[in-house]
Amino acid sequence: MRIGEHVAAALAAGQPILALESTIITHGLPRPRNLKVGLEAQEQLRAAGVTPATIGVVRGEAIVGLNDDELAEIANDDSVVKLSVRDLPIAAVRGLSGGTTVAVTAFLAQKAGVRVFSTGGLGGVHRGASETFDESADLIALAQYPLVLVSAGVKSILDIPATLERFETLNVPVVGYRTKHYPGFYVSDSGYEVEYQADSPEEIAAIAKARDELGIKSAVVVANPVPKEFELDPALHDAKIEQALAECKARGIHGHDITPFLLDYMQRETSGESLEANLAVYRGNVALGAEIAKALASK
């Protein structure tokens, strides 16, 4: 693993840093928008006084704090793969380039000493998991690495109540940001509730600090809903998700291909509306992650 120069400097100076994943860039968004979104997120952070640490794997090397050239390389590489924790040693030996999922981004962030991480949506328990056993490695990673992870919930392509149950089992607290309605990524309310609400970045930083003092190792998951005005029309959302799941089953798609397939299907079938919601979600999570990183750095 290599730590980018800008990240190393910020770590040494105790300045706020926010980790960002790269699967959203390599497998979550269409080109050329993907690179633009990656660069804009970094700009947004610098403007807020926070150092961006975009994490990815370039030709076998895991990098915490990609520079713009490295980001462009993985954004435009046709052979780029989706990497989770178990894939890292194989990528290293074979010299593969890859986007890092939440699971491996969390692993690398904590290894580097970065404490806050923003993403769009989290992986979770897939529908039908009681038969397929398909549960994202993101859940296990969140149980193991003491970060603050900001997301807009999990998509309703997943089994949301089962995912919330698994968070409980894995000792991962889920805190709604200014709400107790658990968000559904594309929509601001999934229809399920969380137990706790936090109302400021300072409160979230205080929760993380209390966790660290207790020596608890799991992440604090902050659920930050997409603003109502940017959400996908809930009726359109429900209809398209059913179709997406049926199509996935009919084509026999499985393993790590499922999530990218479902995301791409939603983008195509909502003529880009889901893409706009996706981007609003991401900007909101980057903004909140920045404020939490600042609050933690000043504690």
Give dist(CA 277, CA 171) in Å, integer.
Answer: 30
Show the binding pattern over residues 222-261: x = contacts ligand PSU (CB under 6 A), - = does not.
----------------------------------x--x--
Residues annotated as catalytic (active site), given as ranges: 21, 155
Which of 295, 127, 103 has its CA nearest to residue 198? Answer: 295
DSSP class of 219: P
Contact 79, 18 (CB under 8 A): no
- Would you give the binding string for ligand PSU spanning residues 57-96, x where CB under 6 A is met? ----------------------------------------
Q: What b-and-e string marks burial along 180-195, b requiring 16 or more CB atoms within 10 Å of the CB?
A: ebbbbbbbbbbebebe
Identify the residue whose tokens are 């610098």.
46
Q: Where are the beta strands (DSSP E) in the chain?
A: 2-3, 17-20, 51-58, 61-64, 81-83, 98-100, 116-118, 148-151, 174-177, 181-184, 187-193, 196-198, 220-223
| Distance of closest approach, residue 200 Cβ to ligand PSU, in angstroms | 26
CB of 28 to Mn ion, least distance (A): 15
Among 18, 45, 62, 138, binds ligand PSU (CB under 6 A): 138
At its nearest, how many Å lie between ligand PSU and the CB of residue 223? 14
Under the rule (CB under 5 A), what is the footprint of Mn ion? Answer: 134
Shortest Å distance, C-beta 137 to Mn ion = 7
Note whether 118 binds ligand PSU by CB under 6 A.
no
Instruction: Name the residues that contact ligand PSU, by CB under 6 A.
Output: 21, 23-24, 27-28, 101-103, 120-121, 123, 136-138, 256, 259, 263
